[in-house]
Structure 1
């Protein structure tokens, strides 16, 4: 693995951790609330919740995933970053749920 890829992954993890630690910036609208509920429902149904994290922290991590993808992080790299950051093996389902519910314009 080349040094740039390692740096990119480290940056993605650091951004996600910082975003979660700061509490995120979820939009307080009915549509955002509905999207957030759908996101939480999907990750719960698929057993892709983040271990030891609150619902708010998971929603913020989902928005951070969207931000990383919009910034150009490749989907496979984001999946790996999520799995490493949260020490679980459901990154694919988590990232899929985030793009479907929290940033659907990215997924289309």
Structure 2
């Protein structure tokens, strides 16, 4: 019997690469979860699987020490999904809290 949040099979892979002699860093992450088909006496539905791709690029201008400019796209393919840590996805009476759709950010940060 599931008395908590049933995660099922979850996978996360992250990678980044700073090309040598370059002020850029490129990277991304894949977050995926298999469909969760186990239903106990209290659950009323199964949970669909999902896969999400997030990408980023960072630039550190050589002339400004500590400055990092980062552009990122999260949920690149605009998937509708609820993270497995969201409670209630296996009950018809509860509407899951879905993660945001595709989002694009441009952030500048300064370390001093």
What is the TM-score normalised by the length of structure 2?
A: 0.25
Q: Which has the larger radius of gyration?
A: 2
Higher relative contact order (CA closer than 8 Å, sequence separation 6+):
1
What is the TM-score normalised by the length of structure 1?
A: 0.25
